[in-house]
Every structure is written in C-alpha cells, then in structure tokens.
Structure 1
Amino acid sequence: MKKSRVLIALVAAVALTASACNANPTPGSGGTATTGGTLHILFDNPTLKEDPAKSQSLAVSAIHLMIRSLTTWKTDPNKPPTVVPDLATDTGTPSDGGKTWTYHLKPGVLYEDGSKITSQDVKYSVERTFAPQLSEGLAYHKTLLVGGENYKGPLTGQDLPSIATPDASTIVFHLNKPYGDWPWIVSMPAFTGVPKSKEDVVHYQDHPLASGPYKVQSAQQGSKIVLVRNKYWDQKTDPVRTALPDSIVLDMALNGEVINQRIIADQGADQAAFSFVTLQAALAPKVLNNPQVKARLAVSPSGALDYLALNTRKAPLNDVNVRKAIEYAIDKNAVQIAAGGPVIGGDIASTLIEPGISGYQKYDLYQAPASGDVAKAKALLATAKFNQTAPLVLISQNDSLHVAVSQAIQASLQKAGIKVTLKPEDDDSWQADSTGGKPNYDLSLSGWLPDFPSAQGSIQPLIGTSEIGNGGFNISQYSNAQVDAAIAAATSQTDLTKAAAQWGALDQQVMQDAPIVPLFYAKNAFLRGSKVTNFYLPPYPPYPSVLTVGLTGK
C-alpha cells in the first residue's frame, strides 16, 4: 500500500472532460491524437525498475508499455477503474470457494522476438519474485499462494506447486484462503511472462522481453530509456493500450521543479512531453493565472486519504465518546487551509474509502459545520467525564505541511478543552513510532492510498487487528472481532459488486467506533505539453495513465 508520508500540495480543481478514446481530442491538447511522433515522459526518479519482479508500479505505469499481465485496469476520467483481461481471456474463474483461480491465455499473444507467451512463462515470472535477489516488488501474492511463506524462488531449482500449468495456455493458482480481489492482484507486474531461458538477475530490468506495444531500444539507468514499437504486439488482443506514439523516451533523474518549469514554458521537444512529478505548490500561481498553461493541467478528482489516527488502546482515547468528541471538534476547514486550501489541498473527507474506489459511499456520521462543532464535542466529553491530566501527544512528520496541519488540529481541540502537544519527527522516527508496536503517542497524522482499486486496500490495512505492530499500519491500535469477521467475509467475496457493498457497509461500521478522523482526500496535478493529448487523471489512481497518451498532429 502507498503510505502518504508527505502531505501532497496539489493544484486547482479543474474540470476534466478528456476522453481516453483516441478518436476524440482532449480539451487544450491542440487537436485529435494521431499515430506517430516521439513522446517524452519526464521523471525525477534516477532509476526505473523495469524488471517485473522488482517493480511496484501500478497498472497505468510505464512498465506496462513493455509488459502485459494476466489482467489490467481500464480507467476513465469520470468513473472508478475496472479490471479487464489482458494476457488472459477473462479476469479469472474462481472455484473452491475462492481459493482456486484459473486463467487461460489468449491465443496469439507473442513476445518481441515472435515467440509465444506460455503459462509456464507466467508461472516462472511469479516464482522469480520469491528469490531474495528479486524481492523488491509488490508482495500480496506471496502471503496468499499456498507454500509461499517458505518458498525461496526458482533460482534454487525449486518450483512452487501452488501455481499449476496443466497446459501451455492454462495457469491455476491455489490460495491459502478465499480472496475475491485476486483479479486485481494478477494485474501487477509480476503476473507477466518471463521465459526461464531469458533469466538474467542483474540485467533483465534493462531489457525485459516485451509483450506490450513497445520494446526497449536502449537503457541508461540514471539518464533515459528509449522505447520503440514491438511489431509482434497485436492491438486486437489488447483492451487498454492505444500505442499511438512511434517511440517513447523516459527521461530520468531530473529536478522536479525544473521538469514543471519546462512543461510550463512549452518549448521544442517539451511540447511533446508530460511531467510525472506532481506540480509544486510554489508554481501554482504561474499555472492558474495563465489560461493557456492552466488548460494543460490535469487534476485528479480525488486521491490519498489524509487522516488522524486515534490510539484506541490508550486512555483517554479508549473511551469512544472522547474519540467522537474529537471527530466533531476538528476544524476541517482550518486543516484544509493549512494543507493549501480547497484549490491546492484537497476535498474535505468523511469516509475511509476514497472516492474513485468501488465501494465508496458518500456519508458523514459526524455531521458538523466545516469549522467543527465545539458544543457537540464538549457535550460528549462531559458524557465521558473527561478530566485531562496531561496533554495528548500528536506525532507527525516534521515537514512544513504536516506541522501546519498538526497546528490546525491542535488549535481545534484546544477550543473543545483538549490540550495537545505536537511532536514532529523525521520520517524514519515517525514510521517506527507509528508502526513498530510501541505506540507512545495519542494521535498520529498519516495518509493512505491503496495499491489497487479495491476498498479492501482502503480498510483492512488501517483497522484489521492483524495490522497492529510489526510494521502494520493499524496505527489506531483498533481491534474489533466483529469487524475482523466482516473483513474476512468481504475479502473472500468473489463477486466484486457484492464485495463493494460489503466494504461500504464496513466503512460506516468502523466509523461508528471513531478510530480515525478522515481529514481530506489529497489531489494530484500534472502538466503536459501542448502537443500531448488523451491525458487525464482518473478518480483512481491519481496519476496519468501512460498507456493511452498520444500526440496531436499540429
């Protein structure tokens, strides 16, 4: 899961009406997307991990220009993403109550050398993620596959029997528990094809064998990776990628502010480029006050949940009425302003599930003015017979945004008669104090964005009993047997529509106990050059999809 360790300063609630369809122009793009040209994507990261075993990239990221997984995500500017088949013929057939998942590969899907992608290649790709040398990638499958806890990867000469390949086009996964979100899991980079004969632990990431529309022409980590067309990719088998540019250059190790300054200037090759660095708040006036530049700004409808965790195991916060008093007392308007205001901060939040995630239901159990309800908070404190002997300790990261938000929370609670001491910490100290199992705090300021668009990722990591301590992110120390049972039921539901309804109900069930104060849904904002089209940020994830971007002919 993505921890929002730094509150992201974001820009401009700009209405997005861009279409992902390559037949329609994106407003401000300069025209309709055409086939051809060289697209540049500008990164501040010094390296890009293009080995699928090492990658933590989402399904809309650059690695998926080169590789295809069993499933992928279909995004839309205005709707939550859906999971769709990619290498596979469907999103998976569950059996054994959701503990077994079967996939069949589409006929005619090929690598860049013209060879056929087989189920054995997919099995090997997943197995190699268990090797200690290749263990940096997303790891959800490692705890779900039977025997995964003891498996050390294929480089030892061993295979993982819980991944079966009865023939060259069929692959079957045996899980240790029912898991309805498995179709999302197999959209991750590991679930591509890697032929065993192509294994190169050190250099595979420089040239992964392409199954997507582009292959690596050259790779200089720390500088740039150049992608050119893979002639063996067949668009008829691909439901998502449009493969409009002839080539794509991934420019790395650039200064983030310089990147955005270049896109604002919109000169030369930068007209055919977009920034993969969120626009900095300091540059917001330069963008918002120039209509031509503002037209090239894409803003996510929603984003990570920034929230205040209440330590439910420590007095006085072990009293639900004290926690509810805090829910009412916090001036979310002041918090929003401290984070940059409604334009560069985000929308005020009241739920655990982020907008854009299936299962999100708009509700607010603690209805109050945006500035809070001090009278209601004081009444609840009186019911709890609240008698504070020492200030509550609020820990946060020590950057200016977290400190500003913490100060707004401190002032809010002071009005209700709750004293708070602020304890800003460096990132490592905050991480250790929040997740290390020794919670010497009362309140912790944090943020969260799931790695895949399921409400399971919005709720279970934050409130499941199993996520307390040992690096887990249940920093509220919240434990409720009924909630844990409901989590297990929703997790095992293989009908994603039914699962979404269960997660939505769970959201409200948890908030009745008030272990978390949702503060705001932080937004992301990215700039593109004037020749870039089909560029938008969906409700989730709050990042541009590189799979559909093209260039205008003008």
Structure 2
Amino acid sequence: MTAKNSSPSRRLVLAGLGATSFLAACGANERQGSGSGQSSGSTPTKGGTLTVLVSSTSTNFDPAKSQSLAITSLALVHRRLTSWKVESGKPAELVPDLATDVGSTSDGGTTWTFTLKDGLLFSDGSPIRAADVKWGLERSFAASFSGGLTYHKDLLAGAAGYTGPFEGARLASIATPDEKTLVFTLARPYGDWGWVASTPAFAPVPEGKGAEADYGLKPIASGPYVLSAVQQGVKIEMSRNEHWSAASDDVRPALPDSVVFSLGQATDVVSQRLVADSAADQTAFGAGFVSPAQLVQVANNPSAKDRLVTSESGALAFLSLNTRRGPLQNAEVRKAFQYAVDKAAFQVATAGTAALAGEVATTLITDGISGREEFDLYPTDPSGDPAKAKELLAAAGYPQGLSGLKLLVSQSNNGPAQAQAIQAALVKAGIGVDLQVTDEDAYYAAINTVNADEYDLALASWQPDFPSPNANLQPLFATSAIGNGGYNSARYSSPSVDAAIAAAQATVDTDAAAKAWVAVDKAVMADSPVVPLIYTRNSFLRGSKVTNFFIGAFPAYPNYLAVGVSS
C-alpha cells in the first residue's frame, strides 16, 4: 500500500515508498516544504497554455471510473456536489460546488438534502439538473463502469445488488423531487456524507447518456474545461468550456486558456527537463514526485531550487503486523515491534536523510487533517529500543525471540531497501525476518484477498480519499475491510473498534466526530496492529512561468485548480 503510481488519485496504496514522497535535498526549498509554496512572485493571470507532464499513458476523465482527488485532473472537467477549498498551509475545507451548501440533515445523518445552484449548464448548453447527478451516480454501479471510489455504493439504502440504470432500474434512495433538489437516504447515519459528495461519481452526467465505454474520452463537461483533442498515449488537450460560469464556482479560477496533459513521460526525464526550464517546459509542471537523486540536482541549481514545492507531510507509511498469524495474534507480542523498529533507519532508506523522508509517525490519522491529535503510546527514540522489545517478547512468552517471519514488500521504487532497514532493526531485537519481495500485482493480491495470509508483516502506506479521519481509519482497521479488495493488511478485527468506527461515522457534529476519531486512533494503537513509521513528503517541480503552484496541508499534491501561467 504505497502509491500505486505517482498520479494523485485515491488512497495511494502500495508497498515500497521509494519515489513517492520526499522533501527537498540539502536544505532546498526549506519552508516551501510547509506547503507555503506559492511557486513564484508573479501575480496569477488568465491566459496561456499549462502543460502537465504525466508518467502514465492514459488519464481517465470518466467520473464513474475515476479515483481522482477533488483538486486534481478530473475536477478541471467535472464539478461535483461539493469540493475542497485548499489553500497554502491550511487544512482542506469542505465547500459547496454544484450545490448551494455542503448538505443538510434533519435526522442525525441518515437523510441528506442538497440544492443545486441556479443557472448551471453542461458544456453542450443543456441545464444541469438533479436528475443528471442521480444518473451519474446510478451509472457508477454498472459493472462496465467500475474502478471508481465506492463510498456511496456502500452507504446508499437499497444499493446492494444494484447494477446501474441502463436497463431501467433506478435507485429509490436518490430522490429528485424537483430539478434542483437531491435527497439521499442512507442505510445508516453517516456524518461525512458531505465529503463523500466530493468524490468523482457525484459529477453529473446528462440523463440517458454515457452508456458508451469510451465516455471518458468525450465527456460532457460541467467544469471550466472540455476535452478538445485526445491522442491515446500521447496527450489530452483541454480548452475552455464556454458554458461554465465563474460566478457559480468558488474553487476553480480557471486561469489558463488551455491545459495539455502530456502522457507517457518518464519521471526522471521530466525532472531533467523542468530543471533545464527551456521553451515550452517553462509553462509545465510534473505530476510525479521528484526522486531523491534528482533533488540533489535541484538543490545545486538555484533557479530550479526556487521552483520546487514540497508538502509539509503526506501519506502515512507503516508496518502491518498480520494479527491472524502465529505469535502476532498476541497484542503483547505486537507491542514489542513498536520498540524494535528503527524509524530513523527507515527514513534514511526512504530518502537518504530524515529531513528528506518526512517526520517520524506515532499516530494513524494523517497529518494535515483537521481534528488530528498527536500522541505516542510507545515513546522511544526514533532509532528504537531493542532491549525493550526483547523484554516485551520475553514477558509474552518468547524469551528466545521470534524467527522465520515473512515481510511482504513490493519491488517497486525502493521498497526492498526500506524492507532491509526494517529487517536489520528487527534482528537486533531478536526477531528474524525473511523478505518476501514481489511485483506490484502479487503484492496487491496478497493484501486484498480474504484468505491470503501467507505474510506476517507488510510494508505499506496510505493517504485517504478525502480529508477526514474516517477515510484514514475505517479502510485500514474495520473488520469489513479485510479481503474482498479491502486494505486492512493487518487483518485486524476488533468488535469494540468496529463499534467505535460506526459511532464516529454516525456523528454529524464536526467537533464531536473529531474527538471520536481520535479515540479510535488511540484504541487501534493500543492493540498495535501496525507500527506507524513516517509521514512521507512529496516534492514537485514547475517551470519558471507556472504561477500559483502550491500544496496545502492536505492533500500532499499541488492544487491543479489554482495553477496558472505567466507570459
């Protein structure tokens, strides 16, 4: 579970955190790393062409199939009921997008009502109606349009077994009493429904349309841009949507006249081009993370150093302890790992130095999310305490330590080096570990399958889909997230924690919910199913004419919606 690739989408789960997140080398961009990073002193202006250099050979603009964050590529084309206000150095804030507010409930979170703003139009000039939002959501249930985020599928009442609207079946739990009103009936109270409404499937699709498999190549837009040219594997060009109104959109300044996604670009080559900053690359930025080796190059180039922006924090990297395996079924044994792991060595293995890798982690809720509380149930030096670990193992009935444990890690990026750092530290604590290095597909097959318990430990990371502790904790620690495509890699199951998660999810009041989620964080850590390692950092490079290029406190990606170019 570290980033599956460097595109800003979904939870960013994968093993081997390698090139996924780093701070600038050798003091480069020292406080840009705080997310303060307005990338230049230029005042953002309208006009010009912005180019986004992307390593993948395709970018999905079908909202039903997308896992794109609310501030990245998809949101240039599609609006949603709600969105995120992301500013430099500040936590993300839930704000209205197509809707007039972030949703209201009068029954404690089971029924949610949204009203659309006046005058909303699709790119074909037709009005955006409540029925179009309903259709887009229903369309996401069709098997041929799978792959997107699924929070709404699990929460809408009566959605179990629903297969989409194309054969006439409709969801009664999405009501449209008039052209501007949507009423959602959930299977249970859920306080974060407003955040869920910011996920891609809440983008409207004109009712009756979007049956074709390639809708993502020719979508009908609700955002400020339309896809004007698509060359598969080469580039996607966007131009202005003449029917989009800035007056109804507070999160998209839509500064460039056009945006080009240049596909299939090797990440190391992208960095070299942006460092050189010549010709068209002056108005481009890289969608992928800058690697540690390239950060050294950037640090030695004053011009490039000024054009690097680094996140304050990012995905949580952690070591999963398979709670269904042998001695690891015992929580007292698992607690020994909190002291046995050398987090400082893991930082070095990740990016060369602690400063490059990210801060040591002791909690599970991602840094930068509102309501997060810092605590440490297992205080020790970042380098660990092997003697304390041995003491705990002996007290748990293992005076000779443990041997033959299998550590699962993806060979992607520098995962093996990180696993070796974990292995070396555990040996000092009397814990023998064999590395199980796999390709990415085999890694995910082991993590996501119910009975695939052939590993004892797994190296993983996680960034939530939306900035709520809910999206941190439920996907990793709820019993329902074990197997069947879930990401509970520790196979952790606690009835009391499940009940606490359900209670926190049902809490509508923001402050009360935050306290409930902190209590879940502490309860999980008390059981020690994972060892938090570091909060990883991401660095991105831009051309000299790219303006308003910054990273907020969450997520650890540039706000694509704010970026412009200067002449």
Q: Given the two structures, how large is their TM-score scaled by the length of structure 2?
A: 0.92
Worse-matched range after superposition: 121-130 or 188-197: 188-197
Which residue among 95, 98, 108 is the counterpart of 2:106? 95
Instruction: Indicate yes or no: 2:77 matched with 1:63.
Output: no
**How big is the shift at 1:441?**
2.4
**How big is the shift at 1:103?**
0.4
Worse-matched range after superposition: 302-311 or 463-472: 463-472
CA distance in 2, matches of 1:526, 1:239: 25
**How big is the shift at 1:163?**
0.7
What is the CA RMSD across the aligned residues, in angstroms?
Answer: 2.0
Which residue among 319, 335, 339 is the counterpart of 1:328? 339
CA distance in 2, matches of 1:514, 1:198: 49
Structure 2 residue aligned with 1:376: 388
**How big is the shift at 1:288?**
1.4
Deviations 1:179-198 (A, max 9, x none): 11111111122212211254
- Where does structure 2 lack aligned partners over 5 or more consecutive residues? 1-10
CA distance in 1, matches of 2:413, 2:207: 49
**How big is the shift at 1:389?**
6.4
Structure 1 residue aligned with 2:407: 394
**How big is the shift at 1:16?**
4.7
Letter aligned with residue 70 of structure 2: A
Structure 2 residue aligned with 1:2: 12
Deviations 1:335-388 (A, max 9, x none): 111111224322211111110122321111111111112232222223223144
Tell me if structure 2 keeps the 8 A contact 1:302–1:523.
yes
Structure 2 residue aligned with 1:460: 474
Structure 2 residue aligned with 1:408: 421
Instruction: Indicate yes or no: 2:377 matched with 1:365.
Output: yes
CA distance in 1, matches of 2:416, 2:214: 43
Structure 2 residue aligned with 1:543: 557
CA distance in 2, matches of 1:178, 1:551: 44
**How big is the shift at 1:158?**
1.8
Structure 2 residue aligned with 1:185: 196
Tell me if structure 2 keeps the 8 A contact 1:332–1:519.
yes
After TM superposition, list the pairs within 5 Å mapping 1:101-120 onto structure 2: 101-120=112-131
After TM superposition, list the pairs within 5 Å mapping 1:126-525 onto structure 2: 126-340=137-351, 341-386=353-398, 387-388=400-401, 390-399=403-412, 401-436=414-449, 437-525=451-539
CA distance in 2, matches of 1:484, 1:346: 30
Tell me if structure 2 keeps the 8 A contact 1:533–1:550.
yes
Three-state SS of the structure 2 residue aligned to 1:338 is helix
Three-state SS of the structure 2 residue aligned to 1:236 is helix
**How big is the shift at 1:93?**
0.8
Which residue among 26, 43, 56 is the counterpart of 1:45? 56
Letter aligned with residue 332 of structure 1: K
Tell me if structure 2 keeps the 8 A contact 1:181–1:496.
no
Cα separation, partners in 2 of 1:171 and 1:443, compared to 1, 3 Å: same
Structure 1 residue aligned with 2:7: none
CA distance in 1, matches of 2:117, 2:386: 60
CA distance in 1, matches of 2:506, 2:44: 42
Letter aligned with residue 15 of structure 2: R
Alignment: residue pair count: 549
**How big is the shift at 1:17?**
5.6
Q: Given the two structures, how large is their TM-score scaled by the length of structure 1?
A: 0.94
Cα separation, partners in 2 of 1:471 and 1:27, compared to 1, 3 Å: closer
Tell me if structure 2 keeps the 8 A contact 1:332–1:370.
yes
Cα separation, partners in 2 of 1:181 and 1:419, compared to 1, 3 Å: same
**How big is the shift at 1:468?**
2.1
**How big is the shift at 1:324?**
1.4
**How big is the shift at 1:523?**
1.2
CA distance in 2, matches of 1:256, 1:17: 21
Three-state SS of the structure 2 residue aligned to 1:154 is coil
Cα separation, partners in 2 of 1:258 and 1:390, compared to 1, 3 Å: closer
Tell me if structure 2 keeps the 8 A contact 1:26–1:533.
no
Three-state SS of the structure 1 residue aligned to 2:108 is helix
**How big is the shift at 1:276?**
0.6
CA distance in 2, matches of 1:68, 1:303: 25
Worse-matched range after superposition: 134-143 or 526-535: 134-143
Identity percentage over the alignment? 48
Tell me if structure 1 keeps the 8 A contact 2:34–2:312.
no
- Where does structure 1 lack aligned partners over 5 or more consecutive residues? none
Cα separation, partners in 2 of 1:140 and 1:93, compared to 1, 3 Å: same
Tell me if structure 1 keeps the 8 A contact 2:409–2:458.
yes
Runs of at least 4 residues of structure 1 off by over 6 A? none
Letter aligned with residue 428 of structure 2: K
Deviations 1:152-198 (A, max 9, x none): 11111221111110000001111111111111111122212211254
Tell me if structure 2 keeps the 8 A contact 1:19–1:534.
no
**How big is the shift at 1:527?**
0.6
Tell me if structure 1 keeps the 8 A contact 2:16–2:416.
no
Structure 2 residue aligned with 1:526: 540
Letter aligned with residue 509 of structure 2: D
